[in-house]
Amino acid sequence: MSSDVAKSACERIDLAFSNPEANARAFKDAGGKVVAFLGATVPVEIIAAGGAYPLRLKGGSGDTALADELMEPVRELYLRRIFNRLLAGALDWVDLIVVPRSSEGLLQFYYLIDYARKFRGHTHMPKVVLLDLLQTPFDYTIAYNKARLTELKAEVEAVTGRTISDEALAGQIKLYNSVRGRFRNVIEQQGPAGTLRLKLASFGQTQPAAEFESVLTDLWLGSSQISKGARVALSGSPHETADLYEIFASSGLDIVAEDHDWGAGIYAHDVAENADPIAALEERYRLHGISMRQFVRAKPEYDVSGKDVRPEAVAFYFEENDDTLGWEYPEERKRLADAGIATALLRGPVNSDRCLAALKDLADQFAARTEGGNHE
Read off the pLDDT of each residue in 67-79 and give the average, rounded to a whole number.
Answer: 91
Q: Is 61 exposed, middle or buried (0-12, 13-18, 19+ CB in 10 A)?
A: exposed
Note whether 97 and 57 are within 8 A (CB): yes
**Helices (H), ranges, the chain:** 3-18, 22-29, 44-49, 77-88, 104-119, 142-160, 166-190, 194-206, 209-218, 243-250, 277-288, 329-338, 353-372
Does residue 128 surpass a pLDDT of 50? yes
Does residue 286 surpass a pLDDT of 60? yes
Read off the pLDDT of each residue in 8-24 and give the average, rounded to a whole number.
Answer: 96
Residue 373 has a pLDDT of 52
Read off the pLDDT of each residue in 152-174 and give the average, rounded to a whole number.
Answer: 98
Q: Strand, coil or helix: what is 347?
A: strand
Strands (E), 220-299: 230-236, 253-258
**Helices (H), ranges, 223-265:** 243-250
Does residue 227 surpass a pLDDT of 80? no
Q: Which helix (H) or strand (E) segment is 343 a member of? A: strand 342-347
Residue 74 has a pLDDT of 86
For the chain, what is the mean pLDDT? Answer: 92
Residue 341 has a pLDDT of 94
Residue 376 has a pLDDT of 43
pLDDT in tens, 178-193: 999 999 999 999 989 9
Q: In degrees, to the nearest 5, what angle opens at C-alpha 287 toward C-alphas 283 and 293?
A: 130
Give the pTM: 0.94
Domain architecture of the chain: domains with CATH: 19-160 (3.40.50.11890), 193-372 (3.40.50.11900)
Which of 145-149, 316-320, 355-359 has the least mean pLDDT? 316-320
Among candidate residues 55, 43, 289, 284, the one with its CA nearest the CA of residue 169:
43
